[in-house]
Amino acid sequence: MNPLSDRINNLAVSQTLAMAALARELKAQGKDIISLSLGEPDFNTPEFIKEAAKKAIDENYSTYTPVEGYLDLKEAICRKFKRDNNLDYKPSQIVVSTGAKQSLYNIAQVMLNEGDEVILPAPYWVSYYEIIKLSGGVPVEVPTSIENDFKITPEQLEAVITPKTKMIWYSSPCNPSGSVYSREELEALSKVILKHENIYVVSDEIYEHINFSGTFCSIGSIPGMLDRTITVNGVAKAFAMTGWRIGYIGAPEFIAKACTKIQGQVTSGANSIAQRATIAAVDADPKVLNYMVEAFHKRRDLVVGLIKEIPGLKINVPEGAFYVFPDVSSFFGKTLRGQFIKDATDFSMYLLAEANVATVTGDAFGNPNCIRFSYATSEELLIEALRRIKEALA
Ligand code: PMP
Ligand code: GLU
């Protein structure tokens, strides 16, 4: 008998983390792997943030923190929400957590009852699906395609709403597609949402600053939507702080309180030093991030250009985050170097075996036709990775 719970037996492993681990393992065995699997900036955390952390250590920020986060950090997050997103939150509406992943987990745990439906425009970030399932929710996938830039329409949204619909979860800029919803597009979706009482939106804005489109809209800033929205953000991506583990939400107060309640029983307040450093991060003018954003923009152009040169790969131009999500379905049913490619997972494993390049299958993100490349790595490695891929597919 398997002594583990049904809960864990029914949980899929995170395929982003699994692919990153496999790439690491192969590297350790001496293979020359280029990993484009993990979404992780290759920059160092900016100096001014590191200085704030060092100061916090010297000032003995070493005790338990308030479960919902330091008050001055929550105040700084409120200023950030106002400055960047035109969102009016009070500190009592903010909860700081151990990464945006925990923020999302808290939300699912406090919002979902068994059988509640959560609409997921696909492709969606890999962990949404499992976090929702783990909380008893039922993910309802809404497929999109490269032709409509991987975005859902108001008609598609309306069509999947049922009396059981509780939430809609999405990210913009999107992981994995890089798509960015415009204000007009979000207004049209909000019209549908506002017709239905008690549907809440999770707006995952963790890639907010890694955005080349010149526009960004938080759905909570649309009239009527603030009370229906949980805005999720964090410092991992824009500030190159993936290991510091700080995420946060702005939410209706009763939801923030509930998230604090669960966090108080599970992890307590987030790391003290990282919270002090996060004050410096969120208080800074986002212009300080320009050098990273410009580098990602340049790499985006490079990668899109190189992929367009590879016959059989179809790609749109993602407007944000640091991923490209080409459609590889033209290879399905074909045999490459003696290996039959049945689906995106086979394709991704073929690239790992034959090109020594690690990617993540689109299946993990609810799109079986695509694979994801993270371009958060040097131009030199990106050029080499795509040269190898082109050769392996020739
Ligand atoms: N949301 C999205 C869309 C992400 O790509 C990630 C990546 N880790 C997260 C949330 C979680 O972020 P964190 O590292 O802060 O937990
Ligand atoms: N969010 C990143 C990614 O999608 C990091 C890995 C993870 O947290 O799953 O690759």
> For ligand 1, what atom is nearest to the CA of residue 102?
16
* Cβ 182 under 6 angstroms from ligand 1: no
In a 13 Å sphere around the CA of 204, the CA atoms on its Cβ side amount to 30
Q: Is 242's C-beta closer than 6 angstroms to any atom of ligand 1?
A: yes
Residue 325 lies in a domain: yes
Question: Are 280 and 297 within one domain?
Answer: no
Q: Are residues 208 and 302 in the same domain?
A: no
Whether residue 372 sits in one domain with residue 278:
no
Q: Measure the CA–CA gap between 53 and 183, rounded to whole angstroms.
A: 36
Q: Is omega for the bond preceding 326 within 30 degrees of 0, making it cis?
A: no
- 56 lies in some domain: no
28 phi and psi, to 5 degrees?
-60, -30
The reply to whether ligand 1 has any atom less than 6 angstroms from the CB of 103 is no
Q: Residue 103: nearest ligand to its CA? A: 1
pLDDT at position 309 is 96
pLDDT at 9: 94
Report the distance separating Cα 231 and Cα 218, nearest Å: 8
Residue 108 DSSP label: H
CA terminus-to-terminus distance, the chain: 48
Q: Assign residue 352 the CATH number of its domain.
A: 3.90.1150.10
281 and 304, same structural domain?
no
- Contact present, 127 and 100 (Cβ < 8 Å): no
Q: Which of 237, 263, 285 is the last residue of a domain?
A: 285
In a domain, residue 52? The reply is: no
> Could you tell me the distance, in angstroms and rounded to a whole number, from the CA of residue 115 to the centre of ligand 2?
27
In the numeric block, the tokens 């330091």 are attached to: 70
Q: Compute the distance between CA of residue 200 and CA of residue 194 in angstroms, rounded to an integer.
A: 10
Task: Please indicate, yes or no, whether residues 20 and 164 belong to a single structural domain of this protein.
Answer: no
- Return the ligand 1 atom nearest residue 245 CA: 15
- 192 and 214 inside one domain: yes
Return the best residue to mutate from 22, 36, 40, 177 for the ligand 2 pocket (most ligand atoms within 8 A of CB): 40
Q: Are residues 138 and 207 in the same domain?
A: yes
Please report whether residue 356 resides in a domain: yes
Strand ranges for the chain from DSSP E: 34-35, 94-97, 117-122, 138-143, 165-171, 200-204, 229-234, 247-250, 323-324, 334-336, 339-341, 357-358, 360-361, 371-374
Q: Which domain holds residue 40?
A: 6-44+289-393
Q: Are residues 14 and 35 in the same domain?
A: yes
125 Cα nearest atom in ligand 1 = 3
User: In angstroms, rounded to a whole number, what is the distance separating the alpha carbons of residues 43 and 292?
Assistant: 8
| pLDDT in the model for residue 1 | 84
Considering the domain architecture, whether residues 280 and 294 belong to the same structural domain is answered as no
Domain assignment of residue 70, yes or no: yes
Question: What is the full DSSP assignment across 177-237?
Answer: T-----HHHHHHHHHHHHHSTT-EEEEE-TTTTSB-SS----GGGSTT-GGGEEEEEESTT
What's the 237 CA to ligand 2 centre distance in angstroms? 10
Tokens of residue 10, six digits: 């029914």
- For the chain (length 394 residues), average pLDDT per consecutive 10? 93 90 92 93 97 98 98 98 98 98 98 98 97 98 94 98 98 98 98 96 98 96 98 97 98 98 98 98 97 97 97 96 97 96 95 96 96 96 97 95
Shared domain for 176 and 88, answered yes or no, is yes
Q: Is residue 157 part of a domain?
A: yes
Of the residues 232, 257, 285, the one at which a domain ends: 285
Shortest-distance Cα residue to atom 5 of ligand 2? 39
Atom nearest to 246 CA in ligand 1:
15
The domain boundary residue, chosen from 252, 285, 318 = 285
CATH value at residue 276: 3.40.640.10
Residues framing ligand 2 (Cβ under 6 A):
14, 16-17, 38-40, 126-127, 175
266 in the same domain as 182: yes
55 located within any domain? no
How much is the pTM? Answer: 0.97
Could you tell me the CA-to-CA distances from 330 to 41, 48, 325 in Å, in that order? Answer: 30, 47, 14
Measured in Å, residue 132 CA sits from the centre of ligand 1 at 15
Q: Is residue 377 part of a domain?
A: yes
Residue 247 near residue 234, CB atoms below 8 Å: yes
**What pLDDT is stored for residue 51 in this prediction?**
98
Counting the structural domains of the chain, the total is 2
Same domain, 279 and 325: no
Check if 236 has its Cβ closer than 6 Å to any atom of ligand 1: yes
Which tokens go with 205?
A: 């804005």
- If you search the block for the tokens 């001014």, which residue do you land on? 48
